[in-house]
């Protein structure tokens, strides 16, 4: 469905994405994780045909796409989209005119659910409300591939909860490929099925969220007793403080030596360790 | 690069609804035109005035500027495609050029009938020699010229901010400032203007304008591919 | 950290394990609460709570200006505690589960001794 072959995107001397090869075929909610500047937005823009790759191919449904041959089944409105400064209902109307498959009813429902004032002009909305509107437009588009770039940025906890419900409902009614890029890792775990971690322009991890739940854990103890057993395990990070070591491991649990307990670590810790790794204080 | 007519029309409609600055400027100019007529009729100025219709040309020049500098970005933000924008803008210009051409000729005709013998009315349609070929040909000639202007301004506006934009700006300024004083080069310029405007052979004028229009707009595709909107 | 037991209990158990295994001997200074918080990515107040409870139980004591140290007889105290917990909590739970699974007492003893269940 979506296929990137050795895609590199450079802005001047900076490589935002470095020879990325990835294929997304199944209908799922994918979560794209990465630090600021890791290249998440760039990746999404490439898939949507909003920018061109410096080298490599981006293919949607086996067709190579670029900014002139934009894919017709991908919908991406960024968070910081600069819309016309008109009423929300006019923006929704405009979006529906530019897209035959737009689900107008769904959009109207969501506007009510999120207490967005239809008559408010775009620029008068708070950043969180703008993000909500753009997310809603993306989901209502009914396209086969929907990209959401940090959809919950600026939303309070209650709104975020509503968003995850909205996301899951939308997916249930219309299973498709939804890629959500976010910082709020543990929350998205409730909805996303697969996780991709982007770091410094490369995809450093890809697996289902369940897998991480099963295989990511930490073992803590004195450095003397922990160090020896680490050789046989896939260690993704460790912390050594005050004579103790906390080792973060991504491996089969059955391989934990007897006498040691593996404590499950949340997605956030998993992510931090994948990206950062080791910290040593005496 | 196929055209999706429905989407293109949607883009054109969006453009028309969001051209307020262009409309304001044009209206302001039209008011100057009205002032001209009144001043002339009440004897404030001598027996000649610049026809109102000429000021409508302002719309042809301002619309592309705002379509490219403001609307492009906003349409892209709503997940519009570049090709929809490309064809949509073209539809805008076709409609604007037809409208201005028609209106200008009608205003001139009306003014001609009302004040013909008494006053001298300056209208580009007359000055460029198009009116001599009859109303229909005049309309087509003016239309071709106007759409060339629109596409030219659109293209110039859309390349601003990039290196080839700067290059084109410098080139144009160089041409205008050096070609005019130097005799042989000025003649070149006059020949060019002759072909697209003053041409006595109407069909050649129309064809040359349209060919240039198409040529420049095709080049636009190259630019559009690279043009970012953020 | 494990999501089953409260975090402060997990910290207490970690320190008790260290004392049992001999990693810390009597009067030795243990890892500071700040270090515990960093190591396990937990709230400092939680670490402080764990250490205070151990101090109350007489397993740790505070040496002024230095930190928390292992008290005299800490190892024995911990063993005692754990034995009690084993007898009063773990065993009854085991028997309950065996009952649920319809494993008789004699079969249970056989299993514990390493034999097979018929």
When pLDDT is averaged across residues A130-157 and rounded to a whole number, the result is 89
**Reported confidence tier of residue A279, pLDDT bands at 50, 70, 90:** low
C52 and C62 co-located in one domain: yes
In a domain, C81, yes or no: yes
In a domain, B172, yes or no: no
pLDDT for residue B12: 95
When pLDDT is averaged across residues C23-43 and rounded to a whole number, the result is 89
When pLDDT is averaged across residues A53-71 and rounded to a whole number, the result is 91
Angstrom distance (rounded) from CA A50 to CA A64: 13
Of the candidates A155, A211, A203, the residue with the CA atom closest to the CA atom of residue A179: A203
Two tokens, residue B168: 């084109």
CATH of the domain at C49: 1.10.10.10
Q: What range defines the domain where residue C102 resides?
A: 75-113
**Reported confidence tier of residue A194, pLDDT bands at 50, 70, 90:** very high
* pLDDT higher than 70, residue C117: no
A222 in C contact zone (CB under 8 Å): yes
Q: Rounded to 5 degrees, what are φ and ψ at A177? A: -90, 120
Partners of residue A74 on adjacent β-strands? A145
Partners of residue C62 on adjacent β-strands? C68
Which residues in C lie closer than 8 A to residue A218 (C-beta atoms)?
A: 1
**A143-147, B121-125, B177-181: range with highest mean pLDDT:** A143-147
B158 in A contact zone (CB under 8 Å): no
Residue from A226, A238, A263, A282 whose CB has the most chain C CBs within 10 Å, to mutate: A263
DSSP at A270: H
| Number of other CB atoms surrounding residue A14 within 10 Å | 9
How many CA atoms are closer than 13 Å to the CA of A16, on its beta-carbon side? 19
Q: What range defines the domain where residue B117 resides?
A: 5-158+199-226
C69 and C81 co-located in one domain: no
In a domain, B27, yes or no: yes
**Reported confidence tier of residue A282, pLDDT bands at 50, 70, 90:** very low
When pLDDT is averaged across residues A208-228 and rounded to a whole number, the result is 89
Angstrom distance (rounded) from CA A276 to CA A199: 10
pLDDT for residue B101: 93
**Reported confidence tier of residue B112, pLDDT bands at 50, 70, 90:** confident
Mean pLDDT of chain B: 88
Interface contacts A/B by beta carbons within 8 Å: 59
C96 and C70 co-located in one domain: no
Two tokens, residue B215: 């040529």
Mean pLDDT of chain A: 88
In a domain, C20, yes or no: yes
C15 and C33 co-located in one domain: yes
Mean pLDDT of chain C: 87
C69 and C80 co-located in one domain: no
| ipTM of this predicted structure | 0.82
Cα Rg of chain A (Å, integer)? 21
- Crossing angle of helices B82-115 and B57-66, in 10° steps, is 160
* pLDDT higher than 90, residue C52: yes
What is the tens place of the pLDDT at every residue in A157-185? 888 888 888 888 889 888 999 999 987 78
Two tokens, residue B22: 């262009």
C37 and C49 co-located in one domain: yes
How many CA atoms are closer than 13 Å to the CA of A243, on its beta-carbon side? 11
Angstrom distance (rounded) from CA B131 to CA B129: 6
In a domain, C118, yes or no: no
Q: What fold is seen in the domain A2-200?
A: Rossmann fold (3.40.50)
pLDDT for residue B103: 92
Contact across the interface for A51 and B10, Cβ inside 8 Å: no
CATH class of A212-281: alpha beta
C79 and C22 co-located in one domain: no
C61 and C80 co-located in one domain: no
* pLDDT higher than 60, residue C118: no
Residue B225 contacts residue A68 (beta carbons within 8 Å): yes
What is the tens place of the pLDDT at every residue in B13-55? 999 999 999 999 999 999 988 888 888 888 777 777 788 888 9
In a domain, C29, yes or no: yes
C11 and C63 co-located in one domain: yes
C89 and C99 co-located in one domain: yes
Q: Do chains B and C touch (3 or more CB pairs under 8 A)?
A: no
Structural domain tally of chain B? 1
**Reported confidence tier of residue B125, pLDDT bands at 50, 70, 90:** confident
Higher pLDDT, A282 or B168: B168
Structural domain tally of chain C? 2
Nearest-by-Cβ selection for A68 from B11, B14, B83: B83
In a domain, C2, yes or no: no
């Amino acid at each position: 469905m979506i296929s990137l072959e050795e895609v590199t995107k450079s802005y001047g001397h900076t490589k935002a994405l470095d020879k990325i090869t990835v294929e997304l075929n199944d209908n799922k909610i994918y979560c794209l994780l990465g630090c600021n500047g890791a290249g998440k937005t760039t990746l999404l823009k490439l898939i949507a045909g909003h920018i061109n790759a410096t080298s490599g191919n981006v293919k949607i449904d086996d067709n190579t796409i670029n900014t002139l041959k934009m894919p017709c089944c991908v919908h991406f409105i960024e968070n910081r989209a600069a819309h016309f400064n008109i009423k929300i209902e006019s923006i929704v109307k405009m979006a529906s005119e530019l897209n035959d498959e737009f689900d107008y009813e769904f959009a109207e429902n969501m506007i009510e659910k999120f207490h967005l004032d239809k008559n408010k002009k775009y620029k008068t909305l708070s950043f969180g409300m703008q993000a909500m509107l753009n997310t809603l437009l993306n989901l209502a588009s009914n396209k086969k591939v929907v990209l959401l770039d940090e959809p919950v940025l600026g939303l309070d906890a209650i709104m975020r909860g509503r968003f995850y419900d909205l996301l899951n409902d939308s997916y249930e009614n219309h299973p498709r490929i939804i890629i959500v890029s976010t910082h709020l890792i543990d929350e998205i775990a409730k909805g996303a099925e697969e996780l991709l971690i982007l770091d410094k322009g490369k995809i450093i991890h890809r697996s289902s969220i369940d897998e991480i739940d099963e295989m990511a854990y930490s073992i803590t103890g004195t450095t003397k007793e922990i160090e020896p057993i680490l050789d046989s395990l896939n260690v993704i990070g460790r912390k050594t403080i005050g004579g103790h070591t906390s080792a973060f491991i991504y491996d089969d649990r059955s391989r934990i030596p007897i006498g040691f307990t593996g404590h499950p670590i949340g997605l956030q810790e998993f992510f931090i360790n994948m990206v950062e790794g080791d910290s040593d204080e005496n | 690069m196929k055209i999706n007519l429905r989407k293109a029309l949607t883009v054109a409609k969006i453009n028309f609804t969001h051209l307020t600055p262009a409309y304001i400027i044009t209206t302001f100019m039209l008011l100057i035109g009205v002032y001209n007529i009144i001043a002339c009729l009440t004897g404030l100025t001598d027996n000649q005035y610049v026809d109102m219709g000429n000021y409508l040309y302002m719309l042809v020049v301002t619309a592309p500027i705002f379509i490219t500098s403001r609307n492009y970005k906003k349409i892209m933000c709503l997940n519009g495609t570049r090709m929809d924008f490309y064809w949509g803008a073209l539809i805008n210009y076709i409609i604007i050029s037809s409208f201005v051409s028609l209106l200008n000729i009608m205003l001139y005709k009306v003014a001609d009938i009302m004040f013909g013998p008494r006053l001298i009315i300056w209208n580009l349609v007359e000055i460029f020699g198009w009116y001599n070929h009859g109303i229909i040909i005049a309309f087509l000639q003016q239309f071709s010229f106007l759409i060339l202007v629109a596409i030219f301004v659109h293209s110039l506006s859309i390349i601003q901010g990039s290196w080839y934009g700067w290059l084109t700006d410098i080139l144009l300024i160089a041409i205008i400032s050096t070609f005019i004083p130097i005799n042989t080069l000025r003649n070149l310029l006059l020949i060019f203007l002759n072909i697209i405007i003053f041409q006595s052979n109407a069909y050649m004028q129309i064809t040359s304008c349209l060919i240039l229009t198409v040529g420049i707009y095709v080049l636009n595709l190259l630019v559009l591919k690279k043009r970012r909107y953020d | 950290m494990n999501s089953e037991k409260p975090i402060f209990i997990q910290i207490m158990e970690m320190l008790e394990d260290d004392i049992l295994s001999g990693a810390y001997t009597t009067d030795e200074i243990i890892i500071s609460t700040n270090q515990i918080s960093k190591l396990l990515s937990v709230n400092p107040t939680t670490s402080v709570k764990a250490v205070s409870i151990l101090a109350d139980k007489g397993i740790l004591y505070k040496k002024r200006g230095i930190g928390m140290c292992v008290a005299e007889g800490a190892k024995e105290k911990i063993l005692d505690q754990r034995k009690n917990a084993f007898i009063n909590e773990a065993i009854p739970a085991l028997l309950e589960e065996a009952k649920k699974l319809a494993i008789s007492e004699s079969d249970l003893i056989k299993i514990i001794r390493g034999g097979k269940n018929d």
